[in-house]
A = this chain, B = another copy of it.
Amino acid sequence: MSATLKDIAALTGLSVTQVSRALNDHDDVSAETKQRARDAAKALDYRPNLSARRLASGRSGIVGLVLPPQDRTPRDSMFVQMMRGLSSAFSRHGRLFVLHAADEGEDVVAVHRRLIDGGSLDGFVLIEPEHDDPRVAYLQGRGVPLVMHGRDGPAPDYPFYDIDNLAVGRALTQMLLRAGHRRIGFINGREDMCYVAQRRLGWERALREAGVEPDPALHEHGQMTESLGALATLRLMGPEGARPSALIAGNMLIAKGIYTALSMLGLKVPQDVSVVVHDDMLPGEDLLAVPPSSGTRSALAQSWEPLAAALIGAIEGRALPKTQHLGDFEIVEAGSIAPPS
């Protein structure tokens, strides 16, 4: 089997204790000893036994993410991206990142609990925050480190990485306002998602700032799928007079549905209807399927490193200067906006 501390101790003539401390870079080990231990470790190709470490120290070096059950996630490729990004960020920090898919019937909190009790995981990356998220309550209650991808409320009491979704909603709306639109529809994501509420708020605020009272009938929401985009568009475009002259899509899938529905209705973008869309920039995703659209874009990939750093900091009990991060987004013009007809 693999070499153990004992082997290194035997080879170097040190004690197991000192080797352990040397390899973990404690401060009461001489520089020379540290080097000797490290050399021997390399020579023997030593790999610490994580189970033993965990048992003794309470930490295993493994962190994880629990994929929420059900297929609430129509964008599988985003998860794979996320997996990859987080895996590599954590492995740069010498940690192992691992993913577990919760079972359909299972309670998400119970899954986290199993993982902690089993003693395998040191901390969690959470995604898709809900309002008063029960996972957060549970983990905080047990003192288990966590970081959130997204956030609940403007300033939660945990580390997170998020973009300013209110600003996104506002920016999208303003792009259309500037072109002269006043009736602006918004096809948004699931109502219980925090970012969805934020974006809606941004939409409302931008409208009010322009002296337009937001019409709740123009806000549609649901699972972010192509069919939501199509159905919501048909609904919004139904009554001729009340029709919005522009649409905001919560993401590319929705946008795709919008384009499909509009072309069914014989409406052209941007001549008849302007369209803007927000999305993460996913390298390699086949967005060519939807016509180029103006709107906002955020770079998901920026989040992995800060999330990893924050979680590791929390696990090691180090106070980090900054654990709450706001990523930025950029505005792209791609010709899907025109003045209202």
A interface residues (Cβ-Cβ under 8 A, vs B): 2, 47-52, 54-55, 60-62, 64, 67, 71, 73, 76-77, 79-80, 83-84, 87-88, 91, 96-104, 106, 114-115, 117-120, 226, 284, 286
CA distance A284 to B98 in the complex (A): 25
Q: Which residues of B contact A80 (CB under 8 A)?
A: 67, 73, 76, 79-80, 101
B52 touches A284 (CB 8 A): no
CA distance A47 to B52 in the complex (A): 18
A99 touches B120 (CB 8 A): no
Q: Which residues of B contact A104 (CB under 8 A)?
A: 88
Q: Is the interface of A mostly helix, strand, loop or mixed?
A: mixed
CA distance A222 to B120 in the complex (A): 40
Contact of A101 among B48, B76, B87, B106 (CB under 8 A): B87
Name 15 A/B residue pairs within 8 A (Cβ), A-sorted.
A49-B117, A51-B52, A52-B119, A61-B118, A64-B98, A67-B84, A83-B101, A87-B101, A87-B102, A87-B103, A88-B101, A88-B104, A91-B103, A91-B106, A120-B120
Q: Which residues of B contact A96 (CB under 8 A)?
A: 100, 114-115, 118, 120
**Max chain B C-beta neighbours (<10 A), residue from A67, A88, A100:** A100
A101 touches B120 (CB 8 A): no
A286 touches B47 (CB 8 A): no
B55 touches A67 (CB 8 A): no
Interface contacts beyond A50-B119, A76-B80, A84-B101: sample of 4 additional A-B pairs, CB < 8 Å, sorted by A: A47-B117, A51-B54, A76-B79, A88-B103
